[in-house]
């Protein structure tokens, strides 16, 4: 039985369908990240789970029982929002315990729950302060504390870190991961930050325009994107995508004389003359000494040292290519170069359907 199951959920606002049939089943303790660009329906789905919005059709089940008829208050779900709206005139202690107070939980029990949450979040020293006396990261911890004291079956997070600066985001991300490892509660977490998704998720659902484009582990999503959309969305810089044509046992790169060997695992999937998109991650490219290996002759256009990497933009005929190279690599602006890669790094996509040829 799934901890949380979303079955055929659809949502329309008037004639506009925002969710077009979402199916996900979560195991107990999973950390699911809903990843997608603005407007794809992430918050809508989260709000339906929380009971803040109503599905047009479909069902949401916790532990095998439908919760759609259950009042949001009684759903055994706690939600943390992007804007963590704390009560400004209440102390941290009362902010965290407020939900329990409203439910009529006894003072000593409340106190115990608040202290426990404060210990987990390492904000025990702040309990008697007001929100105005806290940093952004500390406020966000208080908002999480408010959810923690409820000890819910499922936590929902809607972009909880997006109001924080880069350094705090990173700290809180690690903090959330640590909390989840300790508590092992099922989580659904919304973000459009792919690094957050990759680092936190046990599985990622990449959403696009009201649908799930791919559902898989971070490793699957990153290494085996099911579509060109996922390949382009996850990873920075994005996966290189070269237009090519199958010619015998080679892939002829359009607009250039370059040819790559067609990896054997794809030979039965693509016919002679077929147009394909060749996907290669920037970090899979290396500088080659000569063209005896699988290689791409390029013109180097821009070389940027980011610190750990030399991000190199190059041209191959009319097409562009980015490589993330080790800092000592021999590349210079305006010169010819040769990139090589392992055949295992090659992905092929159908340009018409956008789907990957899965090997």
Ligand X SMILES: Nc1ncnc2c1ncn2[C@@H]1O[C@H](COP(=O)(O)OP(=O)(O)OP(=O)(O)O)[C@@H](O)[C@H]1O
**Which residue spans within 181-266 are E strands per DSSP?**
186-191, 203-208, 211-216, 240-247, 250-253, 259-261
Q: Which stretch binds ligand X (CB under 6 A): 33-41, 90-98, 216-224, 350-358?
A: 33-41
Contacts with Mg ion, 33-52, as mask; x by CB under 5 A: ----------x---------
**Which residue spans within 27-153 are E strands per DSSP?**
31-35, 57-62, 65-66, 77-80
Among 24, 43, 138, 321, the residue binding ligand X under the rule CB under 6 A is 43
List binders of ligand X among 137-196 (CB under 6 A). Answer: 192
Per partner kind, with CB cut-offs from 5 to 8 A, the member of Mg ion, ligand X, none near residue 13 is ligand X
Tell whether residue 186 is a contact of Mg ion (CB under 5 A): no
CA–CA gap between residue 96 and residue 93 (Å, rounded): 5
CA–CA gap between residue 99 and residue 51 (Å, rounded): 17
Tell whether residue 83 is a contact of ligand X (CB under 6 A): no
Identity of the residue, 192 or 224, whose beta carbon is nearer to Mg ion in the bound complex:
192
Among 23, 27, 39, 344, the residue binding ligand X under the rule CB under 6 A is 39
Nearest to 301 by CA among 330, 334, 255: 334
Shortest distance in whole angstroms from residue 152 CB to ligand X: 21
Identity of the residue, 42 or 203, whose beta carbon is nearer to ligand X in the bound complex:
42
Per partner kind, with CB cut-offs from 5 to 8 A, the member of ligand X, Mg ion, none near residue 227 is none
Chain mean position to CA 171: 17
SS3 at position 146: helix
Cβ-based burial of 142 (10 A; exposed 0-12, middle 13-18, buried ≥19): buried
**Residue ranges binding ligand X (CB under 6 A):** 13, 18, 36, 38-44, 192
**Residue ranges binding Mg ion (CB under 5 A):** 43
């Amino acid at each position: 039985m799934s901890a949380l199951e979303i079955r055929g959920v659809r949502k329309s606002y008037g004639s506009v369908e925002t969710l077009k049939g979402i199916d996900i089943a979560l195991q107990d303790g999973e950390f699911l990240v809903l990843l997608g660009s603005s407007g794809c329906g992430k918050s809508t789905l989260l709000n339906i789970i929380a009971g803040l919005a109503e599905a047009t059709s479909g069902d949401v089940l916790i532990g095998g029982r439908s919760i759609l008829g259950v009042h949001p208050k009684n759903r055994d779900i706690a939600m943390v929002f992007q804007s963590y709206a704390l009560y400004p005139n209440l102390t941290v202690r009362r902010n965290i315990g407020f939900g329990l107070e409203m439910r009529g939980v006894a003072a000593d029990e409340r106190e115990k729950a608040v202290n426990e949450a404060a210990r987990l979040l390492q904000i025990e020293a702040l309990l008697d302060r007001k929100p105005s006396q806290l940093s952004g990261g500390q406020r966000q911890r208080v908002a999480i504390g408010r959810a923690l004291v409820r000890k819910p079956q499922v936590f929902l997070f809607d972009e909880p870190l997006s109001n924080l600066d880069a350094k705090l985001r990173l700290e809180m991300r690690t903090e959330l991961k640590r909390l989840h490892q300790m508590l092992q509660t099922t989580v659904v977490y919304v973000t459009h930050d792919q690094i957050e998704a990759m680092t936190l998720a046990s599985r990622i659902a990449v959403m696009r325009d009201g649908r799930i484009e791919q559902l898989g582990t971070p490793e699957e999503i990153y290494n085996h994107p099911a579509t060109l959309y996922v390949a382009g969305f996850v990873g920075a810089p994005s996966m290189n995508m070269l237009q090519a044509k199958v010619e015998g046992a080679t892939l002829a790169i359009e607009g250039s004389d370059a040819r790559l060997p067609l990896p054997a695992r794809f030979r039965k999937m693509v016919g002679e003359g077929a147009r394909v998109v060749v996907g290669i991650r920037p970090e899979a490219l290396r500088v080659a000494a000569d063209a005896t290996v699988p290689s791409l002759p390029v013109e180097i256009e821009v070389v940027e040292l980011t610190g750990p990497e030399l991000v190199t933009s190059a041209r191959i005929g009319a097409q562009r290519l980015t490589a993330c190279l080790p800092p000592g690599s021999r590349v210079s602006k305006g010169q010819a170069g040769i990139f090589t890669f392992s055949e295992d790094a090659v992905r092929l996509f159908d340009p018409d359907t956008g789907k990957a040829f899965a090997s």
